[in-house]
Amino acid sequence: MARRPLPRILTDRAPLTRGRELARTAADGAGDIFHPLITLSRGLRRLAVSGGQRWRATPQDRRAPMCFLIGACVLVVALAPYGPLLGLLAVMGAAAWAGRDHVPAPTGPDEAEAARLRVLYEALVPYFAGDGDPEPLYTYGGDWTAAFDAYEFDDDGRIVRLRLLYPAYFTDGEAAARARIEQVLHAKSGRGREYRFDWDEEANTLTLAVLEALPTDIAAQRFVTAPGETVLGFTDPESVQRTLPVTDGETARDEPPVVWRTGPRSTAPHLLILGQPGSGTTTLLRSLALQALQHGDVLIIDGGGTGEFGALAGRGGVLGVESGPSGALATLAWAAQETERRLLTANRARQAGEPAPDDIRRPLWILADRPTALAHLAAAEGRDDPQRLLQVPLRHGRAAQVTVVVAEQFDSSDLLSEPVRAHTRARVVLGPATPDEVRAVLGAAPHTTPTPVVPPGRGYARLGAGPVLRLQVPATPDPYDEATGEAHRRAVLALLPERTVPAGEQPAGRPVRMTKTLTEPATGEEAPGRAAVEEPTQEAGPPSASATGPTGGAITVHGTVRAAGAEG
């Protein structure tokens, strides 16, 4: 007997599937339609439950006054114009607010984040575990939640902030022990970012935080600073307690600066800048020169001879731009004589009970870029080292309102003289450098890891005995360089003073004569010793220098200053 097939309705599952989808769609549509009613009913129920709990929690002797107050309120609402309608709307609004869906905030890390924290915990066990500890905080297979009490992750699941506890017997006072922990955390938390480590020895806690990149779009501009204050660059907001308004095109914002104070009350009156080629040392010198010209005079020694300071030649307040050994020696000899003259004039003014003359209160800046290159050329010509003439401005510059800034490359830093190393207590390191190199220059290691990509002008700064700060120098390129952008070119040209020597009248290679005359009294009485400064005059001949001593006569310096228009 042949087997009869089952009905098609029992074998074909397509109608059943379509029926489920239609039912699910209808249920979703009904849920969307009746969602307001569901919310209101849930809110009314929650309000009723809350009111019952409040009634049961009210003492017996206070229930009668409460009933009277509720009845009075209901009566006022009922008798007021549109009172019942407004009362109904208020109840519905309260019910809708109480009946809304409460989505609990996620607490704790997810699986991937917990796995990352566990890996980090296991990596720290060999360094924080102790053999004789009866209750070790770090053990293999231990609980990481007891060691990590605060943590944050970004959208990609990477750690952006972590605070961990470590045993009290860990040698957190040793730099080598700290460096090992920081290296492990840097490797396990993810490379390619810059981290900051804050050690709290008293509480036995270490905080790791990911630092944002410093802004590189700040161009040269007039910064809002007081006389005697110079902006080296910008740093992290938590490192300083001050901000300055800066402009970026048409927008303005506040940025935390690294302010260097010079003058008689400065603890670090002179600055040393070290970096790799192309790291921005010359850019920082140009930025300092533009800021110093607002209130003082500038003397520039260009040891590299690349013409990076050609835009400053012949400008008001720029006493000279020297790039040869003979001109540098003559100019620095004048600077040493001028420093001594200022000291003697100030001493005479104090003895006479008079204020210091204006000519010695105007700051004088000596900017030396790669002086060791000039020392090599001077030695080849049988001349003296120009760095030796910097000893007087470095030693007595703070009292004489003379500031010295020396910029050199790492490969020639061993050739710097001892006075330069001893008297430059403000230090800046630019470009890629290892923590040991930064420690050798600044005297302390930075609390941050090296950045993977180092833009020009990026580095570290330390002023005296202060902390090591991250630094980003404002973009101050050479405006006559063809590779300079138009926006940066205009920004630098807008800060340059007017020319005192027209470019067309000053031929290339002609020296400029600077003369300072000290007026000595004919009698033995002391005089304030004011200086008369003559206007620059042109004089033919090779660079030479003649000076009479700091006590009288004329101090004349001949140096080759090329006009900007004559430079290639």
Q: Binding site residues, as ranges? A: 275-282
| Closest-CA residue to 385 (of 313, 318, 303, 320) | 303
- Torsion, Cα 416 422 423 425, to 10 degrees, reads 100
Strand partners, 254: 245
Please answer whether residues 260 and 268 qualify as being in contact, where contact means their C-beta atoms are separated by less than 8 angstroms.
yes
Distance CA 540, CA 512 (A): 9
In single-letter form, the type of residue at position 387 comes to Q
Query: Helices (H) and strands (E) in the chain — how many of each?
Result: 15, 21
Count how many Cα atoms sit within 13 Å of the Cα of residue 333 in the half-sphere of its side chain: 22
Question: Could you please report the per-residue DSSP string of 497-509?
Answer: PPBSS-TTTS-TT
Distance CA 241, CA 286 (A): 26
Return phi, psi of residue 54, to 5°. -65, -35
Distance CA 471, CA 442 (A): 13
The residue to which tokens 């060791």 are assigned: 372
β-strands 426-430, 458-463 pairing: antiparallel
Q: How far is residue 463 from each of residues 212, 217, 262, 382, 538, measured CA to CA in Å? A: 23, 24, 11, 37, 41
Question: In this structure, how many other beta carbons lie within 10 angstroms of the beta carbon of residue 336?
Answer: 21
| Closest-CA residue to 548 (of 528, 519, 523, 511) | 519
DSSP helix/strand/coil, 153: strand
Please answer whether residues 366 and 405 qualify as being in contact, where contact means their C-beta atoms are separated by less than 8 angstroms.
yes
Distance CA 360, CA 297 (A): 11
Please answer whether residues 401 and 364 qualify as being in contact, where contact means their C-beta atoms are separated by less than 8 angstroms.
yes
DSSP helix/strand/coil, 1: coil
Please answer whether residues 335 and 393 qualify as being in contact, where contact means their C-beta atoms are separated by less than 8 angstroms.
yes
Q: How far is residue 503 from each of residues 113, 495, 507, 561, measured CA to CA in Å? A: 65, 18, 8, 11
Query: What angle in degrees, to the nearest 10, is found between the helix axes of 325-351 and 391-400?
Result: 40
Count how many Cα atoms sit within 13 Å of the Cα of residue 83 in the half-sphere of its side chain: 9
| Closest-CA residue to 320 (of 367, 362, 281) | 367
CA 564 to chain centre: 33
DSSP helix/strand/coil, 463: strand
In single-letter form, the type of residue at position 359 comes to D
Distance CA 37, CA 370 (A): 80
In single-letter form, the type of residue at position 33 comes to I
Q: Annotated binding residues for ATP, as ranges?
A: 275-282
Residues 6+ away with beta carbon under 8 Å from 225: 231, 244, 259, 291
Query: Tokens standing for 368?
Result: 């030396």
